[in-house]
């Protein structure tokens, strides 16, 4: 991401506080890898997803504020969707 002409940036860090959150963060990480490898606007958006010391870090760089807002909204929506799916699956598991 360094040396690129992408002046707008944001970072989201998610750190688990217990085992279930750790599993949720791992699921989110796997879900975000595809988006990071093939972003919708190649050349205008860069996304880096990595695990750092057990925490998920999502770094985004874009060429405009509106692209940064769009990618943040997309990532936040995906985080929310993954969390909802994992919670639903967990609630439907037999005890």
Q: Looking at residue 36, which CATH number applies to its domain?
A: 3.30.310.50
Domain tally for the chain?
1
For the chain, give the longest Cα–Cα distance. 52
User: For position 25, what pLDDT does the model report?
Assistant: 92
Considering the domain boundaries, does residue 94 fall inside one? no
61 has a pLDDT exceeding 90: yes
The per-residue pLDDT for range 10-47, each reduced to its tens digit, is 999 999 999 888 988 998 999 888 878 876 666 788 99
Q: Is pLDDT at 65 greater than 90 in this prediction?
A: yes
Rounded Cα distance, 86 and 72, in Å: 21
Please state the separation of Cα 3 from the chain's center in Å.
Answer: 22
Domain assignment present for residue 95? The answer is: no
The answer to whether residues 79 and 72 touch, using CB atoms and an 8 Å cutoff, is: no
Domain that holds residue 69: 8-89
As a whole number of angstroms, the distance between CA 30 and CA 42 comes to: 20
Is the pLDDT reported for residue 1 higher than 90? no
Instruction: Give the per-residue pLDDT at 93.
Output: 84
Range scoring the smallest mean pLDDT among 25-29, 53-57, 82-86: 82-86
């Amino acid at each position: 991401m360094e040396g690129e002409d992408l002046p707008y940036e944001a970072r989201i860090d998610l750190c688990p506080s217990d085992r279930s959150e750790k599993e949720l963060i791992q699921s989110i990480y796997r879900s975000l890898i595809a988006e990071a490898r093939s972003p919708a606007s190649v050349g205008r958006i860069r996304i880096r997803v990595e695990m750092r010391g057990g925490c998920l870090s999502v770094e985004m760089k874009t060429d405009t504020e509106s692209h940064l807002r769009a990618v943040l909204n997309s990532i936040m929506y995906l985080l929310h969707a993954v969390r909802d799916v994992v919670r639903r699956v967990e609630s439907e598991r037999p005890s």
